[in-house]
A and B are shown apart, each in its own frame.
Chain A
Amino acid sequence: MSTRYERYRPTSYHHKMSIFWWVKRKPYMLFIIRELTSIFVAAYAIILIVKLNALKQGAEVWEALLVSLSGPFSVTVHIVVFIFVLFHSITWFKLAPTAMVVKIGKKKIPGSIIIAVNFMMWILLSGGIVWILLQ
């Protein structure tokens, strides 16, 4: 700051930011929820590790794990995880065009098409996983 102007400037007021800044407005709330989906993504990664371990230990351990994972508690947990990872996927694909600029020749592809392609790939890949597992 230039000192020339100092005498016309009494102390300026600095507002302190509240730790609950993200509660105040809906977009901030949605942002924090979007960021917190990462916890559920990580939670499922850990569940996958546990499953891999059981699979490696042998049929008995695997069956035991399956039983404990079919209880109402486990299903409820998975439903919660599902809702959050779904939110993650949707927000992730919707933001894809902000980082990606795709061109065909000299023409820029509009963001809505990039989003649509992402959603279509999502459906196709999910279908692929279902198909492999139901074989």
Chain B
Amino acid sequence: MQKKRSNDPFWWTLFGAGGTISAFFIPVHVLLFGIAMPLGWISVPDYETLLQLAQHPVTRLYIFALVSLSLFHWAHRFRYTLYDGLMLKHLEHYIFIFCYGSALAGTVITGVLIWTI
């Protein structure tokens, strides 16, 4: 008897893409916006400049990919952490919907914000 092939390759691709983009870009973002600017190590760009930057098509695409893929990266990894680390495999359907559902919701919200900014 042949078993059905899994759709995990799809989620794993998103996980991998998200892991890569977040590994490359999130640390510098956190360092600049979350630590260096609040502590006054570097000056904060003013509102107009940032808005203009955010409206640039490349930035839009970049932010959208960064946020959405990072969320899917979390969804996949956290799903397995719950299965393995907390032995919650028996709740797999709820975990599946919670993880990828949240990532999808975040993606839609980001998409709308990026589109209308």
* Chain A residues engaging chain B, CB cutoff 8 angstroms: 17, 19, 22, 32, 35-36, 38-39, 41-42, 44-49, 51-53, 55-56, 59, 62-63, 66, 69-71, 74-75, 77-79, 81-82, 85-86, 88-89, 92-93, 99, 121-122, 125-126, 129-130, 132-134
Contacts and interface: CB of A to CB of B under 8 A. Distances in A.
Nearest to B28: A126
Interface in B21-70: 22-35, 37-39, 42, 44-45, 47, 50-51, 53-54, 63, 66-67, 70
A38 B106 contact: no
21 contacts: A19-B87, A38-B74, A42-B73, A48-B66, A49-B67, A49-B106, A53-B113, A55-B47, A55-B51, A55-B54, A74-B38, A75-B39, A78-B34, A81-B34, A89-B22, A89-B26, A92-B20, A125-B25, A126-B24, A126-B28, A132-B53
B9 to A, nearest CB: 13
Contacts of B114: 52
B7 interface: no
Assign chain B's interface to a size class. Answer: 35 or more
B78 interface: yes
- Listed residue (A44, A51, A62, A74) with the most chain B CB atoms within 10 angstroms of its CB: A44
B80 interface: yes
Interface string B78-102: 1011000111000000000000000
B67 A45 contact: yes
B113 A56 contact: yes
Given A35-B78, A125-B24, A126-B28, 12 more contacts: A19-B86, A41-B18, A53-B113, A55-B50, A55-B51, A63-B47, A78-B30, A81-B30, A82-B35, A89-B23, A126-B25, A130-B32
